[in-house]
Structure 1
Amino acid sequence: MRLVVLGLSLSSSWGNGHATTYRALLRALAARGHAVLFLERDVPWYAAHRDLPDPGFCELALYADLADLDRFRARIAEADAVIVGSYVPDGVAVGERARAWTEHVCAFYDIDTPVTLAKLAAGDHAYIAPALIPAYDLYLSFTGGPTLDLIEARYGSPAARPLYCSVDPDAYPALARETRWDLSYLGTYSPDRQPTLDRLLIEPARRAPHLRFAVAGPQYPREIDWPDNVARIEHVPPAAHPDFYAASRYTLNVTRADMIRAGYSPSVRLFEAAACGTPILTDRWEGLETVLAPGTEILPVDAADDVLAVLRGQPEAERRRVAAAARARVLAGHTAAHRAAELEMHLHDAHGRRRNIAAGSRLAEAAAALTGR
Structure 2
Amino acid sequence: MKIAFYGSSLLSSYWNGAATYYRGVIGSLAKLGWRTTFYEPDILQRQQHRDMDPPDWARVVVYDATPSALRDVVAEARDADVVVKASGVGAFDDELLDVFGAARENALRIFWDVDAPATLAEMRAAPDLPLRRALLNLDLVLTYGGGPPVVAAYRELGAAACIPIYNAVDPETHHPVESDTRFTADLALLANRLPDRERRIERFFLEPAAHSPNRTFLLGGSGWADKSMADSVRYIGHVGVRDHNAFNSTPLAVLNVSRDSMAETGFSPATRVFEAAGAGACLITDAWEGVEMFLAPGEEVLVARDGQEVLDLLAGLDRKRAAEIGAAARRRVLASHTYERRAVEVDALFKCELARIAERNAA
Q: Classify the TM-score, shorter chain.
A: over 0.9
Kept after mapping to 1: 8 A contact 2:11/2:50? yes
The alpha carbon displacement at 1:176 in A equals 2.7
CA shift in 2, pair 1:192/1:345, >3 Å:
same
The alpha carbon displacement at 1:72 in A equals 4.1
Give the aligned partner of residue 123 of structure 2: 120
Kept after mapping to 2: 8 A contact 1:199/1:303? yes
Question: Which 10-residue stretch deviates more, 270-279 or 48-57?
Answer: 48-57
Aligned: 1:322 with 2:325: yes
What are the residue-to-residue correspondences of 1:146-295 with 2, within 5 Å? 146-152=149-155, 154-177=156-179, 180-220=184-224, 222=226, 224-295=227-298
Distance 1:111 1:187 in 2: 16
Distance 1:357 1:66 in 2: 34
Secondary structure of 1:45's counterpart equals: coil
Kept after mapping to 2: 8 A contact 1:253/1:282? yes
Give the aligned partner of residue 107 of structure 1: 110
Give the aligned partner of residue 32 of structure 1: 32
What are the residue-to-residue correspondences of 1:53-92 with 2, within 5 Å? 53-64=53-64, 65-72=66-73, 75-88=76-89, 89-92=91-94
Kept after mapping to 2: 8 A contact 1:251/1:273? yes
Distance 2:19 2:101 in 1: 24
* Alignment-mate amino acid for residue 164 of structure 2: P
Distance 1:44 1:214 in 2: 25
Kept after mapping to 2: 8 A contact 1:92/1:132? no
Structure 1: where are the runs of 5+ without partners?
363-373
* Alignment-mate amino acid for residue 157 of structure 2: Y
The alpha carbon displacement at 1:74 in A equals 6.0
Kept after mapping to 1: 8 A contact 2:17/2:271? yes
Deviations 1:332-368 (A, max 9, x none): 1222211211211221222133234324xx3xxxxxx
Distance 1:196 1:302 in 2: 11
Aligned residues: 357
Distance 1:181 1:316 in 2: 12
What are the residue-to-residue correspondences of 1:341-360 with 2, within 5 Å? 341-359=344-362
Deviations 1:40-77 (A, max 9, x none): 12225323323335223211112223432343456422
Distance 1:44 1:314 in 2: 39
Kept after mapping to 2: 8 A contact 1:66/1:94? no
Q: TM-score, normalised by structure 2?
A: 0.92
The alpha carbon displacement at 1:211 in A equals 1.3
Kept after mapping to 1: 8 A contact 2:180/2:246? no
Identity among equivalent pairs (%): 33
Q: TM-score, normalised by structure 1?
A: 0.90
Aligned: 1:336 with 2:339: yes
Distance 1:125 1:112 in 2: 20
* Alignment-mate amino acid for residue 93 of structure 2: G
The alpha carbon displacement at 1:124 in A equals 7.9
Give the aligned partner of residue 47 of structure 2: 47
Deviations 1:8-57 (A, max 9, x none): 11122111212221122222122222211111122253233233352232
Structure 2: where are the runs of 5+ without partners?
none
Distance 1:132 1:120 in 2: 12
